[in-house]
Amino acid sequence: MTLLQPKDAAEAAEMILWAGSERASLEIRAGGSKGGLGRPMRADHVLDASRLAGVVDYEPAELVLTARPGTPLKDIAALLAAQGQMLSFEPPDWRELLQGGGEPTLGGTLACNLSGPRRLRAGAARDFFLGFAGVNGRGEIFKAGGKVVKNVTGYDLCKLMAGSFGTLALLTEVTIKVMPRPENACTLLLPGLADEAAVGLMAGALNSPHEVSAAAQLPAIPARRLGFADSALTALRLEGPAPSIAFRAEALQLLFGSGPRLDAPESEAFWRKIGEVAPLLSLPGRVVWRLCPPPSVAPKLVAAILEKSPSAEHFYDWAGGLVWLSLDAADAGPDAGASLVRAALKPFGGHATLMAASEETREKVAVFEPEPPALAALTRKIKQGFDPYGALNPGRMREGA
Amino acid sequence: MIVMPPPDAAVLARRGAIVAALRGIVPGEGVIDAEIGRRAFECDALTAYRQLPMVVVLPQTKAQVVEVLRYCAANKIKVVPRGAGTSLSGGALPLEDAVLLGMSKFNRIVEIDAANRCAVVQPGVTNLAVTQAAQPLGLYYAPDPSSQIACTIGGNVAENSGGVHCLKYGLTTNNVIGVELVTMEGEIVQLGGKHFDTAGYDLLGVVVGSEGMLGVVTEVVVRLLPTPPGARALLVGFPGIEGAADCVAAIIGAGIIPGGMEMMDRLAIQAAEDFVHAGYPLDVDALLIVELDGCEAEVNHLVAAVEEIARKNGATTCRVSQSEAERLLFWAGRKAAFPAVGRISPDYLCMDGTIPRKRIGEVLLRMKEMEKKFGLRCANVFHAGDGNLHPLILYDANKPGELDRAEGFGQDILRLCVEVGGVLTGEHGVGVEKRDLMGAMFNESDLNQQQRLKCAFDEDSLLNPGKVFPQLCRCAELGRVHVHGGKLRFPDLPRF
Ligand SMILES: Cc1cc2nc3c(=O)[nH]c(=O)nc-3n(C[C@H](O)[C@H](O)[C@H](O)COP(=O)(O)OP(=O)(O)OC[C@H]3O[C@@H](n4cnc5c(N)ncnc54)[C@H](O)[C@@H]3O)c2cc1C
């Protein structure tokens, strides 16, 4: 096992070529915070991207930032905050969830397409990924996309990279779109709603013109873990200029009833915890799933799972479009509940990912939703085109890919 | 003129048999064989390029699309998909030896699903029809190309189309959450759906903007948004382009993302005003239309902020719409800018580069110099908020040499866009028009990666060939692993 630490794209390309010539595989790593995400890898060597760090260019008035992928996310966030800007997709910190340490980086965040509560309205990491340079598994340096906010020149390979978990190419430079930080924010909490009613309410709120920028439903137990009184909580976030928030909060309360209100700092802390999956953390002997169903069916889906696994716990983000589910590992059985979860999801559509489970479990169980044959064939051909030797992150997403 | 790939003589020789086979799949008037019928499809909105298709097929069902593609794949016949034919880059330009697959009969809105904030539509539905169907529920589909009464969702997906509101609400790619795609082999794949994100590679993301080259889209799920409760527009005039450009940067720098922010230069203002009488000031060099949307409290707050910024940047006129009618009037001139320019010139080419906003002033000045070099006029109407230029190059196709000069002018503009850090196309696509300029932005290695993606979907390059890439894909060559005598290219690299 060799630790390869390229200082630039040219060196990285040489290393990847070398790996290819040795028929050796590489685990791409930067901050190491997401080692526990996806299938465990058995790579021969580690390609450490942490020296590929630093901001290359940042033009606040252009809404564009170019950086090398190993740049810590917290550095990016601080740089943007100083200019009143932010990453709109609100990348969550999953270090506790994944029980790893490390330092989340910009490249890792994009490669895993990690988005937090604002994804609901603003879009996912992939929606802000404008361009990149990288090295494919053949050791070829290439670039795609651009450094401006609007571009349709050539295929959108940024989308292909986002969520490819380093299985197609090593990113060596990335350009993203950044957004102004809202002047102000507040969160409305509506207590006591059952899931079905809450998801209906959240849909109504999102379809209202009051620009809800995050919507979550916490059943009583997860709510209690966040330090709230013993009752379910439906949370709606509003962001914007202060007079606008005041008006919209009033309007929403007229529509849906009133409850406690979190002001900007508390609101920020609340949604950070939602992104971090805090309501389901530190439960020993559990596995955690992340389900993306069509939002409106989420309560039915959860009910179907609860019926089979009464010890399951859950909460909803993205107005129901994201369900976090914690299962008792012993109840869930050797497949960590995969067959239960996926059978429940099947009639509704969507996908389920096994997020937190032991390495042995993630090795055996399909961590990402299995693809139907025609789609799986396309996936295989794309992987083959970019990384024919299977050098990059072998088996991270699928067995043998 | 851009040269299209030479037709396959063997396919042309079998034309009769091919037409008969297609009639076996799509009955009746769904197969158009007569020249007069095919004529209607000979070009899209890049009218300088025309080609009669070998045969036109208008399928009505997904099963027919699958069958047609299977037949064409098996017989190595090229296929060019088409929506409404409003592409400005020649994306739907037919080929002499290809089937033109018109998707206009896929015109059903399958479902408006308010609970999931989306609509399921067939690809031949027009962009505007989606919004019209969603309106009774207070919802709409955000991307709004100026061609929205005619262009189809399938075309929007293929081109990743934008519109005046994409600064705040995103392009097609940010508003489409699912597609059903039939590959050239005739396989049906579902990419995305009513849920968020995908479990594997984001193939939905690459299909959007793939210019009809990865598969035929047979169904689309689009995100619907609540209609903003209100909007007001500001009409701001500047004595120079620089002031307007600085104002745009200052608005964004102040943390304001307007619903739309458009700029017009003197020639465009004049043409638009003569055409629709929107009340535009005629004594300014640059006009900005800034639209702010949201609840009344927010709109008023932002209007005041933008007025202040405009004043600081030397605006000589600044009017705020006082009614919905007035807001629409402000927009009327902008929306009619292309036809307005069409009235003052027999023909025009519409370019579409994007540049970093801070270079707007400089780039517009250099275009003025190019006007002299090429002896042609150029009007500018564009999406200033995102730096997406639409220079309209005025020419007369009947005057010998003018089209060539206009094309040369356009190419110089696009090269300039790339030179200042921008890109060849912001929303119209590469198509035929910008195909041979791809080398200005991408090197061979860059293009090879894009082609490898194409090869995964369409190994024989049968779907819409001759577009986007200056050279046809050589999938076998691109897929090859570089093995020499059982070894890789660089067998002896030292260990690191
Ligand atoms: C006056 C005018 C104004 C315009 N304004 C704008 C604007 O503001 N913003 C903007 O972005 N564009 C604009 N356009 C360009 C054009 O309208 C868009 O590119 C539009 O999306 C094309 O849609 P269409 O249905 O006409 O597609 P077509 O022109 O028929 O085809 C475009 C491409 O899509 C492919 N295609 C079509 N349907 C399918 C399908 N079902 N499956 C696979 N591939 C398919 C075709 O092969 C082709 O490559 C404008 C055009 C005009 C004429």
For residue A388, tell me if it sits in a domain. Answer: no
Distance of CA A136 to the CA centre of its chain: 23
DSSP class of residue A156 equals -
How far is the C-alpha of B36 from the C-alpha of A342, rounded, in Å? Answer: 54
- What's the pLDDT band for B495 if we cut at 50, 70, 90? very low
Residue A104, phi then psi, degrees to nearest 5:
-60, 135
What rounded mean pLDDT belongs to chain B? 94
Q: Which of B173, B247, B302, B449 to probe by mutation at the A interface, max A CB count within 10 Å?
A: B449
How far is the C-alpha of B127 from the C-alpha of B148, rounded, in Å? Answer: 5
For residue A247, the enclosing domain spans: 184-275
- Checking A76-82 for CB contacts under 8 A at 24+ apart, the result is A76/A106, A79/A55, A80/A178, A80/A181, A81/A181
Q: Which of residues 264-323 of A touch B (CB under 8 A)?
A: 292-296, 318, 321-322
Could you tell me the CATH number of the domain that includes residue A40? Answer: 3.30.465.10
Whether ligand 1 lies within 6 angstroms of the CB of B260 is answered as no
For residue A385, tell me if it sits in a domain. Answer: no
Query: How many other CB atoms are found less than 10 A from the CB of residue B128?
Result: 17
Q: Where are the alpha helices (DSSP H) in A3-83?
A: 9-21, 73-82
Whether ligand 1 lies within 6 angstroms of the CB of B86 is answered as yes
Of A143, A160, A180, the one marking the end of a domain is A180
Q: Cβ of B138 and A209 within 8 Å?
A: yes
What sign does the CA torsion over A229, A233, A239, A241 have?
negative
Beta strand extents in A26-165 (DSSP E only): 26-29, 45-48, 55-59, 64-67, 85-86, 129-136, 141-145
Atom of ligand 1 nearest to the CA of B103: 41
Q: Are residues A36 and A127 in the same domain?
A: yes
**Chain B contact present for A101, CB below 8 A:** no
Contact A384, A12 (CB under 8 A): no
pLDDT (0 to 100) of residue A401: 63
DSSP class of residue A72 equals B
Whether ligand 1 lies within 6 angstroms of the CB of B211 is answered as yes
Distance of CA A311 to the CA centre of its chain: 26
Q: Which of A98, A92, A113 is nearest to A275 (CA)?
A: A92
Of A245, A275, A305, the one marking the end of a domain is A275
Q: Are residues A67 and A168 in the same domain?
A: yes
Q: List residues bridging with B31 in a β-sheet.
A: B57
How far is the C-alpha of B131 from the C-alpha of A273, rounded, in Å? Answer: 36
Q: Give residue B416's identity as a one-letter amino acid code.
A: L
Chain B residue nearest residue A15, CA to CA: B496
Tokens standing for residue A352: 């389920």
Q: Are residues A192 and A176 in the same domain?
A: no
Domains in chain A, number: 3
For residue A370, tell me if it sits in a domain. Answer: no
Minimal Cβ distance to A382: which of B387, B442, B456: B456
| Residues in chain B within 8 Å Cβ distance of A80 | none
pLDDT (0 to 100) of residue B485: 38
Q: Are residues A108 and A28 in the same domain?
A: yes
How far is the C-alpha of A68 from the C-alpha of A60, rounded, in Å? Answer: 17
Mean pLDDT within B92-116: 98
**Chain B contact present for A197, CB below 8 A:** no
**Residue B419 confidence (pLDDT) above 90:** yes
pLDDT (0 to 100) of residue B482: 66
Query: Tens digit of pLDDT for each residue in A260-300?
Result: 999 999 999 999 999 999 999 978 899 999 999 999 999 99
SS3 track for chain B: CCCCCCCCHHHHHCHHHHHHHHHHHCCHHHEECCHHHHHCCCCCCCCCCCCCCCEEECCCCHHHHHHHHHHHHHCCCEEEEECCCCCCCCCCCCCCCEEEEECCCCCCEEEEEHHHCEEEECCCCEHHHHHHHHHHHCEECCCCCCCCCCCEHHHHHHHCCCCCCHHHHCCHHHCEEEEEEECCCCCEEEEECCCCCCCCCCHHHHHCCCCCCCCEEEEEEEECEECCCCEEEEEEEECCHHHHHHHHHHHHHCCCCCCEEEEEEHHHHHHHHHHHCCCCCCCCCEEEEEEEECCHHHHHHHHHHHHHHHHHCCCCEEEECCCHHHHHHHHHHHHCHHHHHHHHCCEEEECCCECCHHHHHHHHHHHHHHHHHHCCCEEEEEEHHHCECCEEEEECCCCCCHHHHHHHHHHHHHHHHHHCCCECCCCCCCCCCCHHHHHHHCCHHHHHHHHHHHHHHCCCCCECCCCCCCCCCCHHHHHCCCEECCEECCCCCCCC
| Residues in chain B within 8 Å Cβ distance of A181 | 255
Q: Are residues A243 and A255 in the same domain?
A: yes
Pairing of strands A184-191, A261-262: antiparallel
Q: Are residues A189 and A175 in the same domain?
A: no
For residue A41, tell me if it sits in a domain. Answer: yes
Q: Are residues A105 and A213 in the same domain?
A: no
Q: Cβ of B430 and A248 within 8 Å?
A: no
Residue A8, phi then psi, degrees to nearest 5:
-155, 180
Cα(A197) to centroid(ligand 1), Å = 41
Residue B156, phi then psi, degrees to nearest 5:
-60, -45
How far is the C-alpha of B281 from the C-alpha of B286, rounded, in Å? Answer: 10
Query: Tens digit of pLDDT for each residue in A26-55?
Result: 999 999 999 999 999 989 999 999 999 999
Min distance B398 CA to chain A CA atoms (Å): 31
Q: Which of A94, A82, A116, A117 is nearest to A31 (CA)?
A: A94
Could you tell me the CATH number of the domain that includes residue A309? Answer: 3.30.70
Q: Cβ of B356 and A243 within 8 Å?
A: no
Q: Cβ of A207 and B138 within 8 Å?
A: yes
**Residue B322 confidence (pLDDT) above 60:** yes
Whether ligand 1 lies within 6 angstroms of the CB of B433 is answered as no
pLDDT (0 to 100) of residue B1: 84
Q: Are residues A151 and A257 in the same domain?
A: no
DSSP class of residue A332 equals H
DSSP class of residue A89 equals T
Q: Which residue has the tokens 């949201």?
A: B294
Residue A45, phi then psi, degrees to nearest 5:
-135, 165
For residue A256, tell me if it sits in a domain. Answer: yes
Counting ligand 1 atoms within 8 A of each CB, the residue from B46, B104, B159, B214 with the most, and so the one to mutate, is B159
Contact A17, A140 (CB under 8 A): no
Of A275, A295, A320, the one marking the end of a domain is A275
Q: What is the CA radius of gyration of chain B?
A: 24
Residue, of B495 and A182, whose pLDDT is higher: A182
When mean pLDDT is compared across A133-137, B175-179, B344-348, the lowest value belongs to B344-348
Q: Which of B385, B175, B360 is nearest to B291 (CA)?
A: B385
Q: Are residues A61 and A10 in the same domain?
A: yes
Collapsed DSSP state (helix, strand, coil) of residue A62: helix
Contact A62, A149 (CB under 8 A): yes
Chain A residue nearest residue B257, CA to CA: A180
How far is the C-alpha of B383 from the C-alpha of B367, rounded, in Å? Answer: 17
Whether ligand 1 lies within 6 angstroms of the CB of B273 is answered as no
Whether ligand 1 lies within 6 angstroms of the CB of B155 is answered as yes
- What's the pLDDT band for B479 if we cut at 50, 70, 90? confident
Q: Which of B65, B57, B55, B58 is nearest to B96 (CA)?
A: B55
| CA angle, residues B424, B430, B432, in degrees to nearest 5 | 130
H or E element that contains A264: helix A264-275
For residue A211, tell me if it sits in a domain. Answer: yes
Cα(B84) to centroid(ligand 1), Å = 7
Tokens standing for residue A69: 């992928």
For residue A383, tell me if it sits in a domain. Answer: no
Q: Please, what are the averages of pLDDT over each run of 10 residues along chain A (401 residues)?
A: 94 94 94 93 95 96 96 98 97 94 96 98 97 97 97 98 97 98 97 98 97 97 92 97 95 94 97 97 91 98 96 97 97 95 97 96 96 97 96 91 63
Q: Are residues A217 and A129 in the same domain?
A: no
DSSP class of residue A371 equals P
Q: Are residues A175 and A189 in the same domain?
A: no
**Cα→Cα distances A336→A37, A312, A354, B387, Å:** 15, 12, 8, 50
Q: Are residues A115 and A62 in the same domain?
A: yes
Residue B483: which residues within 8 A CB-CB, separation 6 or more? none
| Residues in chain A within 8 Å Cβ distance of B262 | none
**Cα→Cα distances A221→A231, A304, A308, Å:** 8, 19, 19
Q: Give residue A42's identity as a one-letter amino acid code.
A: R
Cα(B458) to centroid(ligand 1), Å = 21
Min distance B15 CA to chain A CA atoms (Å): 31
Contact B57, B31 (CB under 8 A): yes
| Residues in chain B within 8 Å Cβ distance of A154 | 430, 438, 441-442, 446-447, 450, 468
| Residues in chain B within 8 Å Cβ distance of A211 | 226, 294
Please state the ipTM of this predicted complex: 0.97
H or E element that contains A235: strand A233-240
For residue A39, tell me if it sits in a domain. Answer: yes
Could you tell me the CATH number of the domain that includes residue A238? Answer: 3.30.70.2190
Beta strand extents in A75-138 (DSSP E only): 85-86, 129-136
